[in-house]
Structure 1
Amino acid sequence: MELISALPEDVARDCLIRISYQHFPVVSSVSKAWNTEIQSPEFRRRRTTANQTQKILVAVQSRVDSDEKRRTGLLVKAATNPVYQLSVLEPKTGNWSELPPAPELPNGLPMFCRIAGVGYDLVVIGGWDPDSWKASNSVFIYNFLSATWRRGADMPGGPRTFFACVSDNHHTVYVAGGHDDEKNALKSVLAYDVSRDAWTALPDMSRERDECKGIFRGGVLRVVGGYCTEMQGRFERTAEEFDSATCKWGPVEEEFLDVATCPRTCVDGGDDELYICCDGDVLILKGDTWQTVVKVPEEIRNVSYMEAREGALLLIGSGGFGQPHMSFLFDLKSSNWAKLASPENYSGHVQFGCSLEI
């Protein structure tokens, strides 16, 4: 059966790789041939080679009570406890949208859940039940091709919170550190193979790391910062690396960060560069030295999320408690800031986020 009537197969495939990710579910329902085509690994390879993939940000973001915001000027959540949704930002167009809720989570995402992208899948791990505040080890997976949810295998080892969570973008999500139900910081590390729906325990880190940050580059998992049980919120400057090929940890870098700070904004900038926000500044790591790049705009001085992409930095934050969250792009070549439009429904607090190329 022809993919598109009267068109050569190579031309038809060239047409299909240009569709927007938002149209994947519709396209897959047109015919078995189209569904088979977009589900194939070759479709993703062609789409990537032709530079037709779309880079998006998915954020765990609180919903906003619009009526209350108009009365008070502050962001008030839709219920006594914050209700979180999965918001999608396309930085290239500035468009925002919302992913459908998982059938098992009709009242919102677990608080402090972590997310990571693997191919066309978005993996949602752990968090607190929004009503009971009980920690969970659940896994939910949203597939962008079919716009459907499925349940994944529970994270082993019992519930953990505030762990590092990062993907290799192809097969695996890594979970490191965090704390258990007794507030004990953890040094254990897990790997989740999304296609196999299977968890593997990896060698422990050298020390406990609560509220640490994970960065994955070139087969190496780097876990930055965090703190041990006894420190309780007093962050360390250290980092350590796990080589996925040898399955071994390297020595601890004792003075990796310039200052002891929360590492949530530490991100991979490519070309052996890292970025982080600290005390109102964006810093870059060059060699062994952190250097100031630019000051953060006052409107987003409290940065909750940052990522580096295509010669620019995307930052999301607010001017203070209860203030709307806004998005800014910083062009690394021109050193100019550009404010992105943030519809009122997408101005809630961003608790966590990840980027996907689909």
Structure 2
Amino acid sequence: METSTELMPGLPECLARECLLRLPFHALCVARNVSKKWKEEITSPSFYRLRKATGFACPVVAVLFRINLHPLIFSDDEEDDILFPYSIRVALFEPMTGVWTEVPAIPGRPCYPISCCYMAAVGHELVLIIDCDNGVTKMNSEVHVYNVIAGTWRQGKSMPPLLRRHAAAYASGPRAVFLAGGNDLCMFADGAFRVLEFDTYRNGWRSADEFDVEAGRWKKSERKIASAICVAAAEGREYMCRDGGSRKLEVLEFVGGGDGGAGEVLDTHGGTVDGWRRLGVIPRDGLRPTYMVAWDGGIMVCNRQAAYVLEIGGGGGAAARRKK
């Protein structure tokens, strides 16, 4: 019995490819396992370039979450992360469809207690940096890379344990990931890797240093981002999440003007002070948000129990809750 070399028997190649191009991302993750021919087509970089060119591509958000290996032990204290081992997992969220797809677990990874884990997107790959502690000596940080197109993991070269807790990883471009250690927040915006240092005396965050990737040098930045809990940037826009009082969190967008301090926001209908505009509010849920991620058209704020999506545009934002 001969195996068909056609994408879809009975259909011209162009029409068959058109059908695959129109599949949502989560369906592509399944379709690449249907046949060898489909896998070759769907895992080809040219296929995704064509999806983008024809307008069928959509944003996909990668979210880290953990599976507690001791279900009877639960604590909100981050210090417990280094005492009790848990498994690190990744989920992909499609804002257009609201569908979550869980990524396969990292194969063969031992479950050491984890002091921190961070992720950055580099092209079609996700880079995970896992800082482990075996309870006796500090271990090298593991590096694992997940190819979103192929759906496969590979292990990268381990990093020396130079970065401590609260380190962060962000992608700067097609083949680069920047890291910052210490009790800082980080984001990549306008071609620069921005490190937000906590100002102890003023009890707020300020943008202390920026690394200009094209120029290859650091420079000082005096823009203040007061009271930020987490920050994100996308498509040249910068966002932050801060305490809004009354068990609410405010999501703000930087629109320029002033000295860049958060200050007081006038209203929820476009009024700004010191360059920040309130986009919306979300419930605090009793837990501090761990991070936020942004894309063209939306923002996600996550904590250990839930993820909130704030859609940007139109007559305002709408928050949607999704349990992790």
Taking structure 1 as the reference length, the TM-score comes to 0.67
Equivalent position amino acid for 2:220 in 1: V
Secondary structure at 1:35's aligned position in 2? helix
- Cα displacement (A) at 1:127: 1.5
Contact 2:147 2:153 in 1 (8 A): yes
Change (3 A) 1:253 1:246: closer
**Greater relative contact order: 1 or 2 (C-alpha under 8 angstroms, separation 6 or more)?**
1
Q: What is residue 291 of structure 2 aligned with on the other side?
A: 305
CA distance in 2, matches of 1:211, 1:79: 17
Alignment of 1:271-350 (within 5 A): 272-280=236-244, 281-287=250-256, 288=260, 289-293=274-278, 294-299=280-285, 302-317=288-303, 325-332=305-312, 333-342=314-323, 346=324
Q: What is residue 257 of structure 1 aligned with on the other side?
A: 224
- CA displacement, residues 139-195 of structure 1 (integer Å, 9 cap, x when unaligned): 11122333322111223x5432333311145332222x31xxxxxxxxxxxxxxxxx
Equivalent position amino acid for 1:90 in 2: E
Change (3 A) 1:92 1:64: farther
Contact 2:67 2:88 in 1 (8 A): yes
Does residue 5 (structure 1) correspond to residue 9 (structure 2)? The answer is: yes
Q: CA-atom RMSD, angstroms? A: 3.7
Contact 1:163 1:211 in 2 (8 A): yes
- Cα displacement (A) at 1:310: 4.1
Contact 1:306 1:316 in 2 (8 A): yes
Contact 1:63 1:78 in 2 (8 A): no
Equivalent position amino acid for 1:338 in 2: A
- CA displacement, residues 254-301 of structure 1 (integer Å, 9 cap, x when unaligned): 2x1242x5x56211153x431111222323222143425144424367
Does residue 223 (structure 1) correspond to residue 194 (structure 2)? The answer is: yes
CA distance in 2, matches of 1:60, 1:137: 17
Q: What is residue 86 of structure 1 aligned with on the other side?
A: 89
Aligned partner of 1:62 among 66, 71, 74: 66
CA distance in 1, matches of 2:289, 2:82: 24
Equivalent position amino acid for 1:314 in 2: M
Change (3 A) 1:149 1:132: farther
CA distance in 2, matches of 1:131, 1:7: 59
Change (3 A) 1:3 1:336: closer
Q: What is residue 146 of structure 2 aligned with on the other side?
A: 142
Change (3 A) 1:298 1:43: same
Change (3 A) 1:29 1:275: closer
CA distance in 1, matches of 2:225, 2:116: 27
More strand by share: 2
CA distance in 1, matches of 2:138, 2:111: 15
CA distance in 2, matches of 1:300, 1:312: 23
User: After the TM superposition, which of the residue ranges 52-61 and 294-303 deviates more from structure 2?
Assistant: 294-303
Contact 1:267 1:274 in 2 (8 A): yes
Q: Which consecutive unaligned segments of at least 5 residues does structure 2 have?
A: 245-249, 261-273
Taking structure 2 as the reference length, the TM-score comes to 0.73
Equivalent position amino acid for 1:299 in 2: D
Equivalent position amino acid for 1:167 in 2: A
Contact 2:81 2:115 in 1 (8 A): no
Contact 2:193 2:213 in 1 (8 A): no
CA distance in 1, matches of 2:121, 2:188: 12
Contact 2:64 2:88 in 1 (8 A): yes
Equivalent position amino acid for 1:214 in 2: C
- Cα displacement (A) at 1:2: 3.2
Q: What is residue 264 of structure 2 aligned with on the other side?
A: none
